Amino acid sequence: MNERDPNINSAWVCWRSLTDVQQLLLCMIVESGGCLQQDPNNSTRFYIQIDEKSVVGARRPSVSALVGYDLLAWDDNAATPESKAVLTERGLFVVKYGRGQG
């Protein structure tokens, strides 16, 4: 019997517990540099800068859920708390090893 590494299995279980929206959001964060900024005009919206012209929006509940899984963390260096979320090492690990395992 082929046993899977427990850390990779944990990443897979975490990945499978995320909604499709959360999985997509996490992948976009990884691909775009690892952070989300709060919309200055709307405290319930966040955005990811994909390139100079492309921006992807996210709502606070999705971001908060990813923080709850320890896949993102609020940036303590931001001027206002919870205005910026950054990718954690665990978040990167879950995307790298949890996605596509089965």
pLDDT of residue 1: 40
Residue 28 belongs to a domain: yes
How many domains, in total, are found in the chain? Answer: 1
Residue 51 belongs to a domain: yes
Residue 92 belongs to a domain: yes
Residue 1 belongs to a domain: no
Q: Is the dihedral of CA 43, 77, 55, 34 positive or negative?
A: negative
Instruction: Please list, in sequence order, all residues whose beta carbon lies within 8 angstroms of the beta carbon of residue 28, skipping any fewer than 6 positions away.
Output: 48, 50, 56
Residue 67 belongs to a domain: yes
pLDDT digits (tens, 9 = 90+) for 28-68: 999 888 889 888 898 899 998 887 777 888 999 999 999 99
CATH classification at residue 11: 1.10.10
Residue 74 belongs to a domain: yes
